[in-house]
Amino acid sequence: MHSDFQTYRFVMIVSILAAFLLSLTATSLKDKQDYNVEVDRKKNVLKCAGLDVMTINSEQIIKNYSQFINEKVISKNGSYVDLKLTDLNQFEDKSTGQILYKNNNKEYLPLYEYSKNNEIVAYILPISGKGLWSTLYGYFSLANDMNTVKGITFYKHGETPGLGAEIEKKWFQDNFINKTIFNEMGQMVSVSVEKGKASGSGLEHKVDGISGATMTGAGLNKFLKSDLKRYIPFIKSLEIGA
């Protein structure tokens, strides 16, 4: 009996110490983890705007972001509001994967402006929605004409490697560059991922699909158009002010 008690006490002491050390390690690493998440977010915004971020380190990413990117918040009717992105709470629609941004139960939209030489070169918008197996999170950027695509990135997803996961590859993302989201009639048609190679009329609004990833492409088509529609009042406001 005495031997059993000593064994149990030893196991308990080891378990408590292990739990304490794990908790201490997690706490000490949290700041580093938060920093890495923030760097990755800023890296994707810069990449989406068309900057080469593959050869620069974390400090340079933070510096370039601070130099070139202005974070803005707009209302659903397209006007700028005096809020910061950090003032917005994020809520994911579980059925669609779309992220909603709210402050005091009122919905707003995040906006990133890429400026160079005191001129806005591109606008970057967050996008998200359901693919085949997961919710896809990324950014989509438009030139200052609010029609020509400057880039698209995805920083988080759970799609199948070699299939749907190809959305994060350069070859796929580069297909979107210089496509347009409005047709000749001024209607917002977005950019669609085709099943197979893009062909036929309207190639300026189409990109090649990913072999074996039809459902991922269909999901992307759906949520990209849905997210872009949310920014139409803002786009129209720029046209009025032009």
What is the tens place of the pLDDT at every residue in 153-172?
998 899 889 888 999 999 99
Residue 24 lies in a domain: no
Q: Nearest-CA neighbor of 187 among 132, 134, 236? A: 236
Token pair listed for 125: 């918008």
Residue 47 lies in a domain: yes
Residue 93 lies in a domain: yes
- Domain span including residue 51: 43-241
Residue 220 lies in a domain: yes
Rounded distance, CA 88 to CA 230, Å? Answer: 16
Label residue 242 by pLDDT band (50, 70, 90).
Answer: very low
Residue 235 lies in a domain: yes
SS3 122: strand
Residue 25 lies in a domain: no
Rounded distance, CA 118 to CA 116, Å? Answer: 5
- State pLDDT tens for residues 11-23: 777 777 777 767 6
> How many structural domains compose the chain?
1
**What predicted TM-score, i.e. pTM, was given to this entire model?**
0.84
Task: Give the number of C-alpha atoms closer than 13 A to the C-alpha of residue 64, restricted to the C-beta side.
Answer: 22
Residue 185 lies in a domain: yes
Residue 232 lies in a domain: yes
